[in-house]
Each structure stands twice: as C-alpha cells, then as structure tokens.
C-alpha cells in the first residue's frame, strides 16, 4: 500500500510539473501593427552606425517604437515613406530571448492596408541642438551604395530638436558650416515634400556656438 501511495504521489507531481512547464512557455497574441509614414533614427543592432529604422506600434501597445532591436519573421515589403501600413501579426513574448534584443517577437501574417497619409507639402521653423562630434550614418529608404556595392556611410550631424529627446542623424543642413568640437543651437526651416516624399533642413540663423570643454 505504501509503494502504491508513493507511486501515485510521484505521478501527480510529474503531471503538475509538466503542466507548469507548459504554462511557462512563450505567450502569444494576434494584434494589429501600424507602421508609420516617417522613419526614426538610431544605431543598428550591435553597430555604432546610425540608420533609419521603421517606426511602429501595435493594438496591444500604442506607444511608438523603432523596429530595430526586435525579432521579426515573414516581413518582406517595399516600404515607402509617406504611407501608413497596417498588418495582422502574431506577437510573442519570449521566455528566453536572445541577448541584446527585445523580449518581444513579431511574426507577420498579412498586410491589411497601405494608405498615403502625407499628402501635402509643409514647412515649419524648429530649433536644433547640434552635437560637437559627427556620427556614422547610412541611409536606408532608399539605400545608397558605393561603386563596389557596399553601403555608403556618411559623417552625419547628430542633432536634437530643442525641448525633445528626438535625436537624429542628418547628412546636411543647407547653409550650415559645421566645425567639430563646437555645440550649436540653430534656427532651421524644415520642409517636407509629399510627392515624392522628402525632408530638407535649411539654416535660418545660428543662435549659439560654444566650444566643447
């Protein structure tokens, strides 16, 4: 009788452990992802070279984020800035994510829509803070290639729109002569062209120039 009770106890514990193991697996959910009409700025994974990551959110989390350190599968489409995309995707919270990436993974199921949302030209004046050092930058939409087929890499200005945390890498600001080692505050006109989509920054005035300590 004691042997039978011991056997039953072991069997029950084994079933409970198996059930717990299953419940501790990756969590999954079908959500709708939005990919926005303008790209972000940031370094690539495991790289100090800045590029132009896609900006997205999903119906489970409306906060906009760069699609740069997230694992994605079945994602193959020709992105055009100026358009907003909707996708049906499977969102997976990884129990054991790879190092240096997000714990969330997306598997794309199908495209739901593609809508032109930037349809008129616009311009506005903004203030930009320019860092004293440049950053390495390679454009992504579209890519720019050297004659040997490698990605073209620029020494770009690292700038931040004043009173925001929106750091960007800009190839150029028209009319601005950058001198390394100085921090600048600039008054700049930002012009957005709808068709074809393009953004241009033109210097209006230099508000300050300070030597880096």
Q: Whose structure tokens read 């770009």?
A: 156
**What's the pLDDT at 76?**
83
Say if CB 134 and CB 156 are below 8 A apart. yes
Structure confidence at residue 44 (pLDDT) = 65
Give the integer Cα–Cα distance in Å for 175 and 187.
12
pLDDT given for residue 14 in this prediction: 45
Over the Cα atoms of the chain, what is R_g?
24
pLDDT at 92: 95
Amino acid 12: pLDDT: 42
DSSP state of 13: H
Query: What are 105's two structure tokens?
Result: 């993974």
| pLDDT (0 to 100) of residue 24 | 57
Please report the pLDDT score of residue 25 as a whole number: 65
- Whats the size of the chain, residue-wise? 213
pLDDT averaged over consecutive 10-residue blocks of the chain (213 residues)? 43 44 71 96 80 95 90 90 97 86 91 97 97 94 91 95 90 96 97 95 97 84
**Which helix (DSSP H) or strand (DSSP E) does residue 161 occupy?**
strand 154-161
Nearest CA among 186, 150, 154 for reference residue 172 = 154
CA distance 173 to 157: 8
């Amino acid at each position: 009788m004691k042997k039978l009770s011991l056997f039953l106890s072991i069997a029950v514990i084994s079933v409970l452990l198996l059930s717990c193991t299953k419940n501790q697996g990756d969590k999954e959910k079908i959500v709708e992802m939005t990919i926005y009409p303008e790209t972000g700025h940031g370094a690539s994974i495991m790289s100090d070279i800045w590029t132009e990551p896609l900006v997205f959110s999903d119906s489970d989390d409306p906060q906009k984020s760069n699609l740069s350190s997230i694992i994605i599968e079945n994602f193959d489409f020709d992105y055009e800035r100026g358009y907003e995309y909707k996708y049906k995707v499977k969102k997976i919270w990884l129990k054991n994510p790879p190092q240096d990436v997000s714990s969330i993974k997306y598997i794309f199921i199908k495209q739901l829509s593609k809508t032109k949302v930037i349809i008129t030209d616009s311009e506005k004046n903004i203030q930009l803070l320019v860092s004293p050092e440049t950053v390495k930058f390679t454009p992504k939409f579209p890519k720019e290639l050297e004659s040997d087929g490698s990605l073209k890499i620029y020494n770009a200005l690292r700038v931040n729109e004043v009173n925001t945390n929106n750091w960007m890498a800009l190839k150029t600001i028209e009319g601005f002569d950058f001198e390394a080692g100085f921090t600048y505050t600039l008054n700049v006109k930002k012009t957005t062209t709808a068709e074809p989509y393009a953004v241009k920054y033109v210097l209006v005035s230099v508000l300050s120039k300070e030597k880096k300590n």
